[in-house]
Amino acid sequence: MSEALLELLPSVLLEGLLLGCVYAMIALGYTMVYGVLGLINFAHSEVFMVGAVAGVEVYRYLGPHVDNPYLLALAALVVAAFISGGLAMAMERLAYRPLRKRGSTNRLVPLITAIGVSFFLQDFVRLIEGLWHGEFYMNYPADAHLEAMHDLPLGMSIQNKSIFVIAVTVAMMFALDHLVRRTRLGKAIRAVAQDLPTASLMGIDPDKIIARTFLIGGALGGIAGVMFGLLYSQINPFVGFVPGIKAFTAAVLGGIGNIYGAMLGGLVLGTIETLGGTYLFFLTDGALGNEYKDILAFIILVLLLLFRPQGLLGKTQGEKV
């Protein structure tokens, strides 16, 4: 038995990597918003969900007219990125900015607002989908080419759509790295993240930069939604919560506010979860099953916050008075 388990290890790691790609892309949204505003945007999980739903709609309406599966998947990604990005920006404009302008000192206020937005969006999407199609459980359609398998060494095998997901993730990460480090917008985002009042004295319009941060984070979340749908096919308006909370864990794991940390944290968490989900059953001889994989992330989160709250790549920071 143990030999078979060892043989399985490369495949488990590969599966974990795929899941990790999704987590990493969501985690970026959490970390960027936290970076500029110091706010945990609970509603980001719903931005991810809206992306996944937008992707299904693209498949529903463009699917019959477009033959090339990659073109179709790209169209879904682009549409989802725009819709999710727009949603994140609208959320900032309508819910968070009024609070910021009021200058309330109560830290709970924006947090509770974010939770409210998150719950509101779940049912709102459910209502829209229900009225539109009479059904709010949705499936990404199967495609023979995207699902075609290739054998890899070490007993691994990979599907075309998995390669596609990895490629998109890598591309987006390079693009984001370029944006943050080499463009004026990136510089402005870093400035606002470091010190908002000073940045605004230097001629940066913080509202504009914050809105764009939401836009970028939201777009990445939307792309993650489509990737999730492509990989696991069934989605619904409540699908965002669990990946959302795991991605947040990933962001903390990497060091919240740090985009490279979010990428690393996502990959690590995806791997740990898949490893745990697969091997816990064998290691405990059936006593603990796959069910515990979902609380693994929470336990990691608690331990991490207790012993290394700055995360893997973060720096310790004293509390500002």
Partner 1 sequence: MGALLLGAMCVRGEVIKVASGSMLSGPQSSLGEMIKLGAQIAIEDAAPEFDALGFDLQFLPQDDQAQPDVGVAVAKRLVNDPDVLAIVGHFNSGVTIPTSEVYKEVNLAMISPGSTNPRVTERGLNNVNRVCGRDDVQGPVGAEFAVNDLKAKKIMVVHDKTAYGQGIALAFRDKAEELGAKVVAVLGTEEKTNFQSLILQMRALKPDLVYFGGIYDQAGVLVKQMRERGIKAAFLGPDGFESSAFVEIAQNAAAGTYYTTVAGPAEKYPAAANFVKKFNERFGRSPEAYSLYSYDAAQVALAALKLAIAENGGTKPSRSQVTEAVRKVKVDGITGPISFNQNGDRAQADYWIIHFTEAKYPGTPVKSVNAAPPVK
Partner 2 sequence: MTSRRPIVLLGIAAVAASAALLAWPRATWALIAVLGVLFGCLSVRDYKPARFVIALALLLVVIPTAGTHNTFLFELVTTMGIFAAMSLGLNIVVGMAGLLDLGYAAFFAIGAYTWAIFGSGQASEFMSGSFPLPGWPYFYIFSALAVITGALTGTLIGLPALRLRGDYLAVVTLGLGEVVRVTANNLDHPINITNGPQGITPIQRPPVGWLLKPLEWLGLDSSPALAYSIFFYVLVLAVIGVVVLVNVRLDRSRFGRAWVAIREDEIAARAMGISLTHTKLQAFATGAAFSGVMGAIFAAKQLFVSPETFTLLQSITILAMVILGGMGSIRGALVGAMAVALLNLEVLKSFSDFLVHLRQTGFVLNLGIVSYNFANLSDQIEPAKYERMIFGLILVLMMIFRPSGLIPESRHRLELGERKKARDAAKGGSHGAA
Please report, as ranges, the residues that interact with partner 1 according to CB under 8 A. 1, 4-5, 7-8, 11-12, 15, 19, 135, 137, 139, 141-142, 147, 149, 157, 159, 228, 231-236, 239, 274, 277-278, 281-282, 286, 289-291, 293
Nearer to partner 2, 69 or 261 (CB): 261
Rounded to whole angstroms, how far apart are CA atoms 203 and 205? 6
Q: What is the CA radius of gyration of the chain?
A: 20
Rounded to whole angstroms, how far apart are CA atoms 25 and 259? 10
Identify what 175 binds: partner 2, partner 1, none; CB under 5 to 8 Å per kind: none
**By CB under 8 A, residue 144 contacts partner 2:** no
Identify what 301 binds: partner 2, partner 1, none; CB under 5 to 8 Å per kind: partner 2
Nearer to partner 2, 144 or 306 (CB): 306
Nearer to partner 1, 74 or 156 (CB): 156
Least separation in angstroms between CB 129 and partner 2: 9
Rounded to whole angstroms, how far apart are CA atoms 120 and 252? 25
Nearer to partner 2, 69 or 266 (CB): 266
Question: Binding to partner 2 (CB under 8 A): which residues in 97-136?
Answer: 98-99, 104, 106-113, 115-124, 126-127, 130-131, 134
Nearer to partner 1, 30 or 228 (CB): 228
Structure tokens at 175: 């693009």
What is the SS3 assignment for 151?
strand
Identify what 233 binds: partner 1, partner 2, none; CB under 5 to 8 Å per kind: partner 1
Cβ-based neighbours of 320, under 8 Å, separated by 6 or more? none
Structure tokens at 30: 């959490």
User: What DSSP state is assigned to residue 233?
Assistant: -
Contact 235, 140 (CB under 8 A): yes
DSSP for 17-85, please give it.
HHHHHHHHHHHHHHHHHHHHH----TTHHHHHHHHHHHHHHHHHHHTTT---HHHHHHHHHHHHHHHHH
Give the footprint of partner 2 on this chain (CB under 8 A).
Answer: 38-40, 95, 98-99, 104, 106-113, 115-124, 126-127, 130-131, 134, 241, 245, 248-249, 252, 286-289, 291-292, 294-295, 297-299, 301-302, 305-306, 309, 319, 321
